[in-house]
Protein backbone atom coordinates (compact mmCIF):
# COMPACT_ATOMS: atom_id res chain seq x y z
CA UNK A 1 0.00 0.00 0.00
CA UNK A 2 2.96 2.31 0.63
CA UNK A 3 3.94 2.02 -3.05
CA UNK A 4 0.43 3.01 -4.10
CA UNK A 5 0.49 6.01 -1.76
CA UNK A 6 3.88 7.07 -3.16
CA UNK A 7 2.57 6.78 -6.73
CA UNK A 8 -0.52 8.77 -5.73
CA UNK A 9 1.72 11.49 -4.29
CA UNK A 10 3.94 11.61 -7.39
CA UNK A 11 1.01 11.86 -9.79
CA UNK A 12 -0.26 14.99 -8.01
CA UNK A 13 2.89 16.79 -9.15
CA UNK A 14 2.23 15.65 -12.71
CA UNK A 15 -1.26 17.10 -12.43
CA UNK A 16 0.12 20.39 -11.13
CA UNK A 17 2.72 20.60 -13.92
CA UNK A 18 0.31 19.67 -16.73
CA UNK A 19 -2.28 22.00 -15.21
CA UNK A 20 0.12 24.95 -15.13
CA UNK A 21 1.19 24.27 -18.71
CA UNK A 22 -2.48 24.09 -19.74
CA UNK A 23 -3.19 27.37 -17.94
CA UNK A 24 -0.49 29.16 -19.90
CA UNK A 25 -1.42 27.52 -23.22
CA UNK A 26 -5.16 28.18 -22.84
CA UNK A 27 -4.62 31.77 -21.68
CA UNK A 28 -2.37 32.52 -24.66
CA UNK A 29 -4.82 30.84 -27.03
CA UNK A 30 -7.73 32.81 -25.60
CA UNK A 31 -5.89 36.15 -25.72
CA UNK A 32 -4.71 35.59 -29.30
CA UNK A 33 -8.11 34.24 -30.36
CA UNK A 34 -6.34 31.19 -31.81
CA UNK A 35 -8.04 28.10 -33.15
CA UNK A 36 -8.45 25.28 -30.63
CA UNK A 37 -6.07 22.70 -32.10
CA UNK A 38 -5.56 18.98 -31.70
CA UNK A 39 -2.75 19.73 -29.23
CA UNK A 40 -5.12 21.80 -27.11
CA UNK A 41 -7.67 18.98 -27.07
CA UNK A 42 -4.89 16.53 -26.17
CA UNK A 43 -3.69 18.76 -23.35
CA UNK A 44 -7.20 19.01 -21.97
CA UNK A 45 -7.72 15.25 -22.30
CA UNK A 46 -4.33 14.54 -20.71
CA UNK A 47 -5.14 16.75 -17.74
CA UNK A 48 -8.54 15.13 -17.17
CA UNK A 49 -7.06 11.66 -17.75
CA UNK A 50 -4.42 12.22 -15.07
CA UNK A 51 -7.17 13.46 -12.75
CA UNK A 52 -9.12 10.25 -13.45
CA UNK A 53 -6.07 8.10 -12.70
CA UNK A 54 -5.48 10.02 -9.49
CA UNK A 55 -9.08 9.62 -8.36
CA UNK A 56 -8.98 5.88 -9.13
CA UNK A 57 -5.81 5.44 -7.07
CA UNK A 58 -7.34 7.61 -4.36
CA UNK A 59 -10.47 5.45 -4.16
CA UNK A 60 -8.34 2.31 -3.89
CA UNK A 61 -6.26 3.88 -1.11
CA UNK A 62 -9.33 5.26 0.66
CA UNK A 63 -11.15 1.95 0.85
CA UNK A 64 -8.07 -0.23 1.29
CA UNK A 65 -6.69 1.75 4.22
CA UNK A 66 -10.13 2.41 5.67
CA UNK A 67 -11.21 -1.21 5.69
CA UNK A 68 -7.84 -2.52 6.85
CA UNK A 69 -7.97 -0.69 10.16
CA UNK A 70 -7.19 2.93 9.30
CA UNK A 71 -10.84 3.89 9.45
CA UNK A 72 -12.47 6.76 7.64
CA UNK A 73 -11.45 9.96 9.44
CA UNK A 74 -13.14 13.18 8.38
CA UNK A 75 -10.03 14.58 6.65
CA UNK A 76 -9.95 11.56 4.30
CA UNK A 77 -13.62 11.95 3.46
CA UNK A 78 -13.13 15.69 2.82
CA UNK A 79 -10.06 15.01 0.67
CA UNK A 80 -11.87 12.37 -1.39
CA UNK A 81 -14.93 14.58 -1.90
CA UNK A 82 -12.98 17.68 -2.93
CA UNK A 83 -10.77 15.70 -5.31
CA UNK A 84 -13.75 13.99 -6.91
CA UNK A 85 -15.30 17.40 -7.62
CA UNK A 86 -11.94 18.60 -8.99
CA UNK A 87 -11.81 15.63 -11.38
CA UNK A 88 -15.36 16.29 -12.55
CA UNK A 89 -14.47 19.95 -13.11
CA UNK A 90 -11.42 18.84 -15.09
CA UNK A 91 -13.83 17.22 -17.55
CA UNK A 92 -15.72 20.46 -18.21
CA UNK A 93 -14.10 20.97 -21.66
CA UNK A 94 -15.36 17.55 -22.75
CA UNK A 95 -18.87 18.45 -21.59
CA UNK A 96 -18.73 21.74 -23.49
CA UNK A 97 -17.30 20.51 -26.81
CA UNK A 98 -19.44 22.93 -28.80
CA UNK A 99 -18.62 26.00 -26.72
CA UNK A 100 -17.87 29.15 -28.68
CA UNK A 101 -14.68 29.85 -26.74
CA UNK A 102 -13.08 26.51 -25.90
CA UNK A 103 -10.00 28.20 -24.44
CA UNK A 104 -12.14 30.02 -21.86
CA UNK A 105 -13.89 26.78 -20.90
CA UNK A 106 -10.56 24.94 -20.63
CA UNK A 107 -9.02 27.76 -18.63
CA UNK A 108 -11.93 27.85 -16.20
CA UNK A 109 -11.85 24.08 -15.80
CA UNK A 110 -8.11 23.93 -15.12
CA UNK A 111 -8.16 26.89 -12.72
CA UNK A 112 -11.11 25.44 -10.82
CA UNK A 113 -9.60 21.96 -10.69
CA UNK A 114 -6.19 23.23 -9.54
CA UNK A 115 -7.76 25.38 -6.81
CA UNK A 116 -9.68 22.35 -5.57
CA UNK A 117 -6.55 20.18 -5.76
CA UNK A 118 -4.71 22.75 -3.64
CA UNK A 119 -7.51 22.79 -1.06
CA UNK A 120 -7.88 19.01 -1.07
CA UNK A 121 -4.19 18.34 -0.46
CA UNK A 122 -3.97 21.11 2.14
CA UNK A 123 -6.74 19.36 4.14
CA UNK A 124 -4.54 16.31 4.68
CA UNK A 125 -2.26 16.00 7.71
CA UNK A 126 1.09 17.25 6.45
CA UNK A 127 -0.62 18.90 3.49
CA UNK A 128 1.71 19.79 0.62
CA UNK A 129 4.84 18.81 2.54
CA UNK A 130 4.02 15.09 2.25
Could you report the per-residue pLDDT of 99-118, keeping only the tens digit for each?
889 999 999 999 999 999 99
Mean pLDDT value of segment 63-79: 92
Tell me: pLDDT of 58 over 90. yes
pLDDT tens digit sequence for 10-57: 999 999 999 999 999 999 999 999 999 999 999 999 999 999 999 999
Q: What pLDDT band is residue 97 in, cutting at 50, 70 and 90?
A: confident
Tell me: pLDDT of 93 over 90. no
Contact 47, 97 (CB under 8 A): no
Q: Calculate helix-pair angle for 38-65, 74-90, nearest 10 degrees.
A: 160
Q: What is the pLDDT of residue 128?
A: 82
Q: Look at the pTM and tell me if it is higher than 0.75.
A: yes
Amino acid sequence: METLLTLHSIIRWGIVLIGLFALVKFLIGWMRKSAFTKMDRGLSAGFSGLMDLQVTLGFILFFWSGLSGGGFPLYRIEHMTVMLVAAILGHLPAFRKNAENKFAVGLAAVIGALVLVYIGVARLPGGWSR
